Every structure is written in structure tokens, then in C-alpha cells.
Amino acid sequence: MGGIWPAVAVGFVSGVLSGAFGVGGGLVTTPAVRLLLLRPALVAVGTPLPVIIPGALVGALTHARHGNADVRLGLALGMWGVGGSLVGAWCSSLVGGRAVMLVTAVFVAWVALDIARGDSRARVVEGVPQGETPPGHLGIAALGMLAGLYSGFLGLGGGFVIVPGLTRWFGVPMKRAVGTSLVTVAVLAVPGTIAHQLLGHIDGRLALQLAAGVVPGALLGARLTLAARERSVRSGFGVMMFATALWLAFGELSAGAR
């Protein structure tokens, strides 16, 4: 695919998913850059990271204004994940692009199935979370470092770890997990961007084209989630992740066969 508009369209779709599901948008951007825009695998991993930052900030601010983001927790998770993000980016260069793509597909599919197995332990009564387990320092550190590691390694922003982690481990309601995740995603994308830039994995022109679509998409996605029911957000999150995993795995295996 040539021209600017396909990249802008990919950015817009990834922005909608970022604002709606708190995943940073890399779940769509990485496979789209690889399979639709026909860039090398490691460029598909690195280029979405700088694009993630403006979209995550717009989505996080929109959710925070409606009380659906724990900014302090999101920043804490991000700070713990910085070191993991740098290590993950370095490991992606050692392992190679095709292996990173296949690991991405497997992990995303696993998270999607975990989400689909059941509802969060959180219950919401008159807008107030009930049954939520406040994450302790050890839990925050573990989740933040894990998200950082996979953010740097897979170029996905870390939200696909944070959202399930907050809902499944700590019982945070889905909408609040989405908003909190976007805060962390914005933080984690910074060291990952620096590392992948130094490794030569970022196409600056493509990143600017993608970013042109991300910001309006993130604003729309956040507003859609705020208006949706909790169960609908959860179901949409699981379906989106599983479809992306299948798309990425099929595309990469087909490319390998050719």
C-alpha cells in the first residue's frame, strides 16, 4: 500500500482501539504496518511506539475527566515498567522480527481467551467499584515490570498486559482499568521509543502519518467506551485481541511459507 492515507487510516483505527480499550493501539498498528503497509518486522515493532504516546495521552485525559482513570496508579505502573521496556527492546533485536511477531500473536491470543473465560471479580454498584483489591507495592511492581518488558519486546504499549492484570488480579472495573492503562501506556512508550530509535527500528515519516490519525481516533474511542456498558467493553476487548492474534499469526506464517 502506498501513499499517506492508508497510514492515516491505520492510525485512526488504532487510536479508536487505544481510547476504547486502553491498549495503546499497537495491537492493530504493528500487524497493519507489517501486513498492509509492508514494512520490515522490526520496523513494525518499533514505529508504533512514538505513535502510541499522543493517542494514550488524549485517551487518558478523556477517561480521567470522567473519573475512570487512577492516574497515580498508572504512573506508578509506568515507572516500574521503564527498565523492563528497555530490556524488552534490546531482546527484540536479538531474537529477530519474525519470532517477535509470532510471540506477539500467541501472547495476545492467550490474553483474549483469559478475558473471555469470565467476568472481572469487580462489581459496580451505583458507579462505585465493589470487591476491588487495592494493589500492594509488590503487585504494582510485578505488573509494571511485566508490562514494560512486553511493551519493549513487542512494541504494543503494555496495555494488553495492564488491563487484564488490573481486572483479573485486582478486580478493577473494566472502564477504570482502561483509563488507568492509558496513563501507564503513555509512560512506557517513551523509553521504548528511545531504545527502538537507537536500534534503527523506527520509520519517522511513517510514524508522523500514523500519528495524524491516532489523536482523533483516541478521542472517539474513549467517548465510545464511556458511553458503553461494562460487559460490552469487556467483550469487545476480548474479541478485538483474539482477531488481531489470528490475523498476525496467519500473515506471518503465510509470509514465511512464501
Q: What is the pLDDT of residues 10-20, one digit of tens each?
A: 999 888 888 88
Tell me the residue type at 54: P
* CB contact at 8 A, 211 and 51: yes
- Say if residues 126 and 173 touch (Cβ distance below 8 Å): no
pLDDT tops 80 at residue 65: yes
Q: Report yes or no: 181 and 160 within 8 Å, Cβ to Cβ.
A: no
Average pLDDT over the chain, rounded to whole? 79
Tell me the domain boundaries of the chain.
5-257
Residue 77 in this model has a pLDDT that exceeds 90 = yes
Amino acid 123: pLDDT: 42
pLDDT at 163 over 50: yes
Q: Are 18 and 55 in contact (CB under 8 A)?
A: yes
What pTM does this model have?
0.74
Residues 63/179, Cβ–Cβ less than 8 Å: yes
Predicted local distance difference test score (pLDDT) of residue 24? 64
Looking at residue 206, its pLDDT comes to 94
Q: The cell 483505527 sits on which residue?
A: 13
78 touches 144 (CB < 8 A): yes
Whole-number pLDDT of residue 209: 93
Digit-coded pLDDT (tens) for 99-133: 767 777 777 777 677 666 654 444 443 344 444 55
| Bridge partners (DSSP) listed for residue 129 | 124
> Taking a C-beta distance cutoff of 8 angstroms, is the pair 243, 31 a contact?
no
Give residue 21's pLDDT.
77
